[in-house]
A and B are shown apart, each in its own frame.
Chain A
Amino acid sequence: MTAASPAIRSETTVPARAEDDAQPTPIVIVGHVDHGKSTLLGRLLHDTDNLLAGKLEAARQSSEKRGLGIEWSFLLDSLQAERDQGVTIDATRLPFTLEGREFVIIDAPGHRQFLRNMITGAAGASAAVLVVDVAEGVRDQTRRHAMLLHLIGIRQVIVVLNKVDLLGFAREPIETAAASLSALLAKLEITPRAVIPVSARHGDMIATRSPHLAWFDGPTLTEALAALPRPHALDAGPLRLPVQDVYRQGERRYVVGRIESGRLAAGETVAIGIAGHRARITALAGWPTPPAQVAGAGQSIALELAPEVVVTRGDLVYHPSDAPLRARRLAARVFWLRQEPLRLGENFHLRLATAEYKVRVTAIERVVRIDDLSVEAGREVPPEGFADITLTAAEEVLFDPFRADGAGAGGRGVLVDAYQHIVGGAPILGVAGGRENVFPLDAAISHGARAAAKGYRGAVFWLTGLPGAGKSTLAREAERRLFADGIDAVVLDGDTLRSGLNADLGFSPREREENVRRTAEVARIMAEAGMVVLVALISPQAEMRAEARRINGVLFHEIYIAADASTCEARDPKGLYAKARAGTLLGFTGTDGSYEAPDQPDLRLDTENLAINEAAERLVAFVAEAIAPPSSGDADASGASRSAVEACP
Chain B
Amino acid sequence: MATASPLQPKKAIPMAQELTDLDQLENQSIFILREAYHRLKPLAMLWSLGKDSNVCLWLARKAFLGRVPFPVVHVDTGKKFPEMYAFREDYTKAWGLDLIVGTCPPVEEIDPSLPPAARSAARKTAGLAALIERYRFAGVIAGIRRDEQATRAKERVFSPRGATHRWDVRNQPPEFWDQFATPIEDGAHVRVHPLLAWREVDIWRYIAREKIPVVDLYFAKGGKRYRSLGDQDITFPVDSEARTVEEIIAELYATREPERAGRAMDHEAEDAFERLRVAGYL
Contact = CB atoms under 8 A, between A and B. Distances in A.
A317 B99 CA distance: 36
A256 interface: yes
Given A1-B268, A285-B65, A10 B261 contact: yes
Contacts of A65: 270
Contacts of A292: 16-17
B154 A78 contact: yes
A244 B17 contact: no
Contact of B34 (A14, A245, A414): A245
B177 interface: yes
B27 to A, nearest CB: 5
Interface string B17-45: 11111111011101100110110000000
B149 interface: yes
A80 B170 CA distance: 11
Contact of A21 (B21, B175, B197): B21
Contact of A10 (B28, B65, B184, B259): B259
A235 interface: yes
A421 B181 contact: yes
A14 B174 contact: no
A95 B201 CA distance: 12
Nearest to A80: B271
Interface residue tally on A, bucketed by range: 35 or more
Given A9-B266, A313-B38, A414-B177, A300 B63 contact: yes
Contacts of A119: 174, 176
B150 interface: yes
A367 B124 CA distance: 50
A1 B24 contact: no
B173 A421 contact: yes
Interface in A596-629: none
B181 A123 contact: no
Nearest to A15: B201
Contact of B184 (A62, A294, A313, A420): A420
B169 A79 contact: yes
Contact of B238 (A3, A22, A52, A116): A3
A422 B174 contact: yes
A594 interface: no
A3 B261 contact: yes
A416 B26 CA distance: 28
Contacts of A5: 267
Interface of B: 10, 13-24, 26-28, 30-31, 34-35, 37-38, 61-67, 146-151, 153-154, 156, 169-170, 172-179, 181-185, 197, 199-201, 205, 236, 238, 252-253, 256-262, 264, 266-268, 270-274
Interface of A: 1-3, 5-15, 17-18, 21-24, 52-54, 62, 65, 76, 78-81, 89-95, 102, 104, 116-117, 119-120, 122-124, 152, 233, 235, 244-245, 247, 249, 254, 256-258, 263-265, 268, 285-288, 292, 294-300, 302, 313, 337, 351, 353, 412, 414, 416, 419-422, 425, 633
25 contacts: A3-B262, A6-B267, A7-B266, A9-B273, A10-B258, A11-B149, A11-B200, A15-B199, A53-B257, A76-B150, A79-B151, A89-B169, A94-B147, A116-B174, A119-B174, A124-B176, A244-B31, A249-B67, A264-B13, A288-B61, A302-B65, A313-B38, A337-B174, A419-B185, A420-B184
User: Nearest 3 A-B pairs (CB), nearest first?
Assistant: A296-B16, A78-B150, A123-B176
